[in-house]
A and B are shown apart, each in its own frame.
Chain A
C-alpha cells in the first residue's frame, strides 16, 4: 500500500516538471522572425464549436500571404512570415495569444485579427495602449467605427448596423421602392446574446423612419429548438424574416420554415448565417434561402485561380483544396487583401521594410482600395471599394445578397449601399458613451505619423 503510494507520487512529481520543461524548451524555439521579414500574427480556432469558421477564414488569409510569397517574392519584396495561436474561440486564450505574439519580430505585430467579438472587446484597451491596430472585419464592436474615440480599432468594410440598413434597402428594392416598406411586417429572429441583440436599436430606428413593423423574436442560446418561435411567426405572417443567428441556430430556421411552409426566399440571413456549413445540413429545406455577404463567393476570380496554381499547385495550401472558394475561405482572402493593401500603403510612406503597429494604424486610416486597384489584384466582384479616414474606421464597404441554389451560393444583387447617415448618428452616440465611461477625450485630429 505504502509502496503504491510512493510510486504514484513519483510518477506525478516526475511528470509535472517535465511538462514545464518541455513548455520552456518550446517557447525557446518558436517561429524565429528575421529582422527583414514581416511578421503577421494569426489568431485562429481550429478546435471548438466554430472551427469551420476559424480554420476556413484564417486558412484563406494564410494562403493569400503564401501566394504573395510564392508568386511575388513577398509584399514589395518583404517576405511574410506568420505564427498561429489557437484561441479555441475563448476570450482568455485570445488575450494570451495577443500577449504572446504582440512583440514578435523587429517591429512587433503590425495588426491583429481577433476573429471573435469577445476577444475584440477584451483587446480594445490593451491594443490601444500597445498601439497595435485591431481589425475586426465584419464582426466586433460596431461603435468602434468612430475613429475619434477608438483610434486603434477598425471594424472594416461594414459593421452590423450598416449591414442591417443594407438589408432594409434590399427589401425595399424587392418590394418596389422605399415607400412600399410602409406597413410591411418584418420579424427579426435573433440570438438572445450580445451579438444577437446588437441590431435591435437600428432596426427600431428604421422601422420608425420607413413605417414598417418589426417584431424582435429572441432565440435562446444555442438555438437548437425554435419550434415555438416558428409557430409564433406563423401567426404573425411576416413579409420577411431576418435570420440573425450563429452556428447551428442559423440552420434550424430553414427546417422550421419548411415545416410551416414559409418561403425561404423571404428569409434574409446575416453573413455569419451565410456559409455552406450553415445551409448544407438543412438539405432541400435551404434551397432559395438568401443571405447578405460583403464579398463574392466561388472560384471565378483571378486571385483565387492564382492561389490554386501557386499555392495548392505546390502542395502548400493551408486547408483542404475542396474548401477553396467557399464563403469562409473567400472571407479569409478579403482579410488578406485588406491587410496587405494597408501594408503596401505603409511601404509607400515608410519604405519597403517590415511595418509596426503605429505605422499600420496610419495606413489603415488612409486606406483607399479603388476599383482599378481591385482589378489589379484580380479580385473584381470579390471585394467592394474601400476608403477609410481617421474619423471613419469602417470605410464604407458595400453589401451584396446571395442565394443558395442547393449546391452553391449564387450572387443575386449588385453592391448595396447602407444608409450611412442613419448609422453614423447612432455610432457617435454609442461611442460617446464609451468615451465617458472610460474617461477618454476623443481625438480632434489624426495622429501624427511617426
Chain B
C-alpha cells in the first residue's frame, strides 16, 4: 500500500529513464536531501556535525567508490586507502603550489587519483580475483612508501605530514564544522547521483556483465580491458575525492598513517556489510562500520565504573564483532538487501503475500 507502482505510467522516454521512477522514491530522496541540507545543520551541534555526519559522509563516498569497482565490476581492491591518500596529497599540492580554487582542487585530486588507479589496474586484464587483490595491495604499500620517502609531496614537511590551507569558495570561508559538513554533503550528493546514473547506463551494465561472468560478457561484445580500466579509474576518482575531503574537511593536518592498510580493509568491510553492487549499501555500510562502534562505545561508557573499564573497552569489540556476524548470517547480501526486502513487503502491505 505504501509503495504502489500501479497508476504510475511513464508516458515519455525521458520519464521512463529518470533516476527515480517511483513517486515514492522521489519524495523520499527529496525529503532526505532537505533533512540533510537544512534540518541537520540547523539542529545538530558541533559534535554531531563534525565527528558523526561529516565522517560518515566521507567514508560513504570512499565506500561508494570501492563499491563501483568491487560491487559493480567485480574487481577486488585492497589499496583504496592509499588511493585516498593520493587524493589528499594531490589536493594539498594543488592548494599550496598552484593555489587553485577549492572545488578545482577536489576534482583535480580525483583525476590524479584516477590516473594512479589506472596505472595499478593495468595488470587486471591478465590476472583476476585474489591475484589482482595482491597487486592492489602493492599499490597500498608503494603509495605509503612514496609519501613517507619523498618530502616533495608534502611540500618539504620533515614528517611527511600535510597541513591543509584554509578553504574559501567564492567568498564563503569554510571554517566551522557546519561549513565543512555542507561542503562535504554537496560533493557527496553530486557524486552519489552521478554514480547512481553511471550504474544504470551502458557503462554500469557492462561492468555488471563483467562481474557476473567475464567470458560471457566478452562474447556479448563487451571489451573487458577498457571497462575494467574505467572501473578502476572511476573508483579511484571517488576514493581520491573522499581522501581530499578527509584531509581538508575532517582531519586538517594529516600524516600518511591515516591511510594505512587497515583502512582499506575497513572500506572493504563497509562494502560487504552494506551490500555489494548497490549505491545505498555504501552508505549503510559506512554507517555500520563507522558509526556503530561509536554508539556502542557511548553506551558502554555509560556503564563504566571503576575496575570494569578494561573489560568494557573490549566489550565494544565483542559486541561489534557479534553484530557483524549476526548481520552476515541473517542477510548475506548486505544491509541494502534488507531495505530492498522491506520495500517488497511494503508494496503488498497489509496483505502478507
Q: When chains A and B are docked, how far (Å) is the Cα of A29 from the Cα of B165? A: 39
Assess whether A27 is in contact with B255, with CB atoms less than 8 Å apart.
no
In the assembled complex, B104 has its CB within 8 A of some CB on chain A: no
Q: When chains A and B are docked, how far (Å) is the Cα of A125 from the Cα of B50? A: 13
Describe B's contact surface by its main secondary structure: helix
Binds B, one of A18-26, A340-348, A369-377: A18-26
The digit string for B39-50, where 1 denotes a CB below 8 A from any CB of A, is 000000011001
Q: Which residues of A contact B100 (CB under 8 A)?
A: none
Assess whether B158 is in contact with A9, with CB atoms less than 8 Å apart.
no
Assess whether B302 is in contact with A29, with CB atoms less than 8 Å apart.
yes
Band of interface residues on A: 35 or more
The digit string for B265-289, where 1 denotes a CB below 8 A from any CB of A, is 0000000000000000000000000
Assess whether A47 is in contact with B55, with CB atoms less than 8 Å apart.
no
Assess whether A9 is in contact with B345, with CB atoms less than 8 Å apart.
yes
A422 CB, min distance to chain B CBs, angstroms:
15
In-complex Cβ contact of A100 among B51, B290, B316 (8 A): B51
In the assembled complex, A239 has its CB within 8 A of some CB on chain B: no
The chain B residue sitting closest to A434, CB to CB, is: B163
Assess whether A194 is in contact with B314, with CB atoms less than 8 Å apart.
no
Q: When chains A and B are docked, how far (Å) is the Cα of A433 from the Cα of B165? A: 12
Within 8 A of A (CB), among B59-118: 96
A195 CB, min distance to chain B CBs, angstroms:
8
The chain B residue sitting closest to A27, CB to CB, is: B298
Assess whether B301 is in contact with A47, with CB atoms less than 8 Å apart.
no
* A46-B310 contact, Cβ under 8 Å, with A194-B161, A197-B158: yes
Binds A, one of B130-138, B186-194, B206-214, B325-333: B325-333
- The tally of CB-CB contacts under 8 A between chains A and B is 165
Within 8 A of B (CB), among A156-200: 192-195, 197-198, 200
Q: When chains A and B are docked, how far (Å) is the Cα of A6 from the Cα of B348? A: 13
In the assembled complex, A389 has its CB within 8 A of some CB on chain B: no
* A194-B159 contact, Cβ under 8 Å, with A27-B298, A85-B297, A86-B316: yes
Q: When chains A and B are docked, how far (Å) is the Cα of A82 from the Cα of B171? A: 42
The chain B residue sitting closest to A58, CB to CB, is: B309
Q: When chains A and B are docked, how far (Å) is the Cα of A271 from the Cα of B155? A: 29
Assess whether B96 is in contact with A198, with CB atoms less than 8 Å apart.
no
In the assembled complex, B145 has its CB within 8 A of some CB on chain A: yes
Assess whether B302 is in contact with A13, with CB atoms less than 8 Å apart.
no
Assess whether B166 is in contact with A86, with CB atoms less than 8 Å apart.
no
B242 CB, min distance to chain A CBs, angstroms:
13
Q: When chains A and B are docked, how far (Å) is the Cα of A263 from the Cα of B164? A: 45
Within 8 A of A (CB), among B141-163: 144-145, 148-149, 155-161, 163
Q: Which residues of A contact B298 (CB under 8 A)?
A: 23, 26-27, 30, 100
In the assembled complex, B237 has its CB within 8 A of some CB on chain A: no
Binds A, one of B12-20, B29-37, B245-253: B245-253
In the assembled complex, A305 has its CB within 8 A of some CB on chain B: no
B195 CB, min distance to chain A CBs, angstroms:
23
A16 CB, min distance to chain B CBs, angstroms:
9
In the assembled complex, B323 has its CB within 8 A of some CB on chain A: yes
B178 CB, min distance to chain A CBs, angstroms:
13
In the assembled complex, B203 has its CB within 8 A of some CB on chain A: no
Assess whether B251 is in contact with A9, with CB atoms less than 8 Å apart.
no
In the assembled complex, B216 has its CB within 8 A of some CB on chain A: no
Q: Which residues of B contact A200 (CB under 8 A)?
A: 158
Assess whether B309 is in contact with A430, with CB atoms less than 8 Å apart.
no
B110 CB, min distance to chain A CBs, angstroms:
22
In the assembled complex, A437 has its CB within 8 A of some CB on chain B: yes
In the assembled complex, B198 has its CB within 8 A of some CB on chain A: no
In the assembled complex, B296 has its CB within 8 A of some CB on chain A: yes
Assess whether A198 is in contact with B159, with CB atoms less than 8 Å apart.
yes
In the assembled complex, A124 has its CB within 8 A of some CB on chain B: yes
* A201-B257 contact, Cβ under 8 Å, with A9-B345, A23-B299, A95-B250: no
Binds B, one of A115-123, A226-234, A395-403: A115-123
Q: Which 4 A-B pairs have the closest CB atoms?
A: A26-B299, A23-B295, A125-B252, A26-B302
A-B contact pairs, 17 of them (CB 8 A): A8-B330, A19-B296, A23-B296, A25-B302, A26-B295, A44-B313, A46-B313, A46-B314, A84-B309, A91-B251, A118-B257, A125-B253, A141-B253, A197-B158, A201-B158, A221-B144, A316-B306
- The interface of chain A, by Cβ under 8 A from chain B, is 2, 5-6, 8-9, 11-13, 15, 19-20, 22-23, 25-31, 44, 46-47, 55, 83-86, 91-93, 95-96, 98-100, 103, 117-118, 121-122, 124-126, 129, 141-142, 192-195, 197-198, 200-201, 221, 316, 318-319, 430, 433-434, 437-439
